[in-house]
């Protein structure tokens, strides 16, 4: 049985979903201290001029104290949902499968979101449904473990997306005049491959 420990990202990249698609049990880290500039609150899509980052604004703790990721709140005084949705529409409206999944995704960018971890889990569970990733048991950690035992694979490092060198197989992307961009947001794969997303993930090399 393939058990993994992983951070819940905001519309995680292909490396995250390759690891999750190949697992039988997923333990989502929810007891760690929040770190800035990670895939916890940012993701990358393909825009007309290349890679484009979408970033969720967050409320800062009083006095700058460290906070657990599960306690991090989203800053909704900034219209980030509207901006992210418009960016997705602009980038992928002409992709083969955007309109097929549009109605499933849009509510995430309309309904007010409060906690970052809760929102990220909504994106993950929706992706599992749309990609048809089933028969996976999911759990949340109660306490943080620096060096877990060998009963499961530790993929928490994937949240540091800048440091991850994952080269997935090329596929047709929307802006074919640009060079192929590897390991983008799972939505890039979904909008371009549709029902072939799951077979594609299972075919990628294991991390």
In the prediction, which pLDDT does 63 show?
67
Q: Spell out the alpha helix ranges (H) of 22-140.
A: 80-92, 98-105, 116-131
The range of the structural domain enclosing residue 163 comes to 3-203
Statement: residue 42 has pLDDT above 90: yes
68: β partners: 33
Non-local (6+) Cβ contacts of 79 within 8 A are none
Per the structure, the count of domains in the chain is 1
Distance CA 148, CA 205 (A): 23
Non-local (6+) Cβ contacts of 9 within 8 A are 16, 39, 40, 43, 120, 124, 158, 159, 161
pLDDT tier at 206, thresholds 50, 70, 90: confident
Higher pLDDT, 74 or 149: 74
Higher pLDDT, 63 or 118: 118
Statement: residue 61 has pLDDT above 90: no
pTM of the model: 0.96
* Structure tokens, 205: 């090399």
Task: Return the minimum-mean-pLDDT range out of 15-19, 48-52, 90-94, 142-146.
Answer: 142-146
Q: Answer for the pair 17, 193: CB distance below 8 angstroms, yes or no.
A: no
Higher pLDDT, 28 or 206: 28
Distance CA 183, CA 161 (A): 9
What's the mean pLDDT in 62-80?
90
Distance CA 6, CA 23 (A): 11
b/e per residue 122-141 (b: at least 16 CB within 10 A): ebbebbbebbebeeeeeeee
């Amino acid at each position: 049985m393939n058990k993994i420990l992983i951070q819940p990202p905001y519309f995680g990249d292909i490396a995250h979903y390759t690891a999750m698609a190949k697992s039988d049990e997923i333990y989502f880290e929810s007891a760690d201290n929040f770190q800035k500039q990670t895939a916890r609150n940012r993701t990358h899509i393909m825009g007309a001029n290349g890679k484009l980052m979408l970033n969720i604004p967050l409320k800062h703790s009083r006095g700058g104290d460290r906070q657990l990721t599960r306690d991090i709140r989203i800053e909704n005084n900034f219209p980030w949902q509207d901006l992210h949705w418009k960016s997705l529409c602009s980038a992928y409206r002409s992709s083969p499968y955007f309109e097929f999944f549009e109605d499933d995704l849009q509510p995430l960018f309309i309904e007010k979101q409060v906690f970052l971890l809760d929102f990220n889990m909504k994106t993950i569970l929706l992706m599992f449904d749309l990609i048809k990733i089933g028969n996976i048991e999911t759990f949340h950690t109660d306490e943080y473990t620096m060096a877990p035992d060998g009963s499961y694979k530790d993929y928490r490092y994937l949240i540091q997306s800048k440091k991850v060198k994952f080269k997935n197989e090329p596929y047709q992307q929307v802006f074919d005049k640009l060079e192929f961009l590897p390991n983008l947001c799972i939505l890039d794969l979904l909008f371009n491959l549709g029902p072939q997303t799951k077979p594609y993930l299972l075919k990628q090399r294991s991390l």
